């Protein structure tokens, strides 16, 4: 528990780039927050390093091995009546293997300028706003 009274969950997410586009993923229609868009990643297990959790989650979800993730943004978001997430976002510009959708409703590669057209999870919106604004290019380079 934390000062909000909500259970806290540590989450990592990858901003995976290829050909100046970013990979976004739509949650399955039967999952929590159905059909919302997000960046791939997931929960950090107790005692697990964030980079290790990110590597594990991306391999499970997309069947690729990421290399040299760089943390670019962190924040906390409270989902009222549910839980608080502590989010760490990592830029990933190198990976090996072919991206394969293992768990999502759908995935797609989009230019950063089009991120605001997607219905993202509320916890991702502060980063989306930064990426869409003048700070976005600096954060991604």
Residue 53 and residue 87 in contact, taking contact as beta carbons nearer than 8 Å? no
Question: Which pTM value belongs to this model?
Answer: 0.92
Is 141 domain-assigned? Answer: no
Residue 127 sits at φ, ψ, to 5 deg, of -70, -40
How far is Cα of residue 31 from the mean position of the Cα atoms in its chain? 16
Tell me which DSSP letter residue 28 carries: P
Containing structural domain, residue 15? 7-136
pLDDT (tens place) for every residue of the chain, 141 residues total: 445 566 899 999 999 998 889 999 999 999 989 999 999 999 999 999 999 999 999 999 999 999 999 999 999 999 888 889 999 999 999 999 999 999 999 999 999 999 999 999 999 999 999 998 887 777 777
pLDDT of residue 5: 63
pLDDT in tens, 90-115: 999 999 999 999 999 999 999 999 99
Domain count for the chain, please give it: 1
Is 2 domain-assigned? Answer: no
Is 102 domain-assigned? Answer: yes
**CATH code, domain carrying 102:** 3.90.79.10
Is 117 domain-assigned? Answer: yes
Is 15 domain-assigned? Answer: yes
Is 18 domain-assigned? Answer: yes
* Ordered alpha helix ranges (H), the chain: 50-62, 125-132, 136-140
């Amino acid at each position: 528990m934390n000062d909000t009274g909500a259970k806290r969950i540590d989450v990592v997410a990858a901003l995976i780039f290829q050909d100046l586009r970013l990979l976004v993923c739509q949650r399955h229609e039967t999952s929590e927050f159905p059909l919302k868009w997000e960046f791939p990643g997931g929960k950090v297990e107790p005692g697990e390093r964030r980079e290790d959790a990110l590597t594990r989650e991306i391999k499970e979800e997309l069947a690729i091995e990421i290399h040299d993730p760089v943390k670019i943004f962190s924040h906390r978001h409270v989902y009222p009546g549910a839980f608080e997430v502590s989010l760490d976002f990592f830029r990933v510009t190198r990976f090996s293997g072919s991206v394969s959708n293992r768990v999502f409703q759908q995935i797609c590669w989009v230019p950063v300028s089009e991120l605001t057209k997607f219905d993202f999870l509320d916890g991702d919106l502060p980063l989306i706003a930064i990426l869409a604004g003048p700070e976005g290019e600096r954060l991604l380079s």
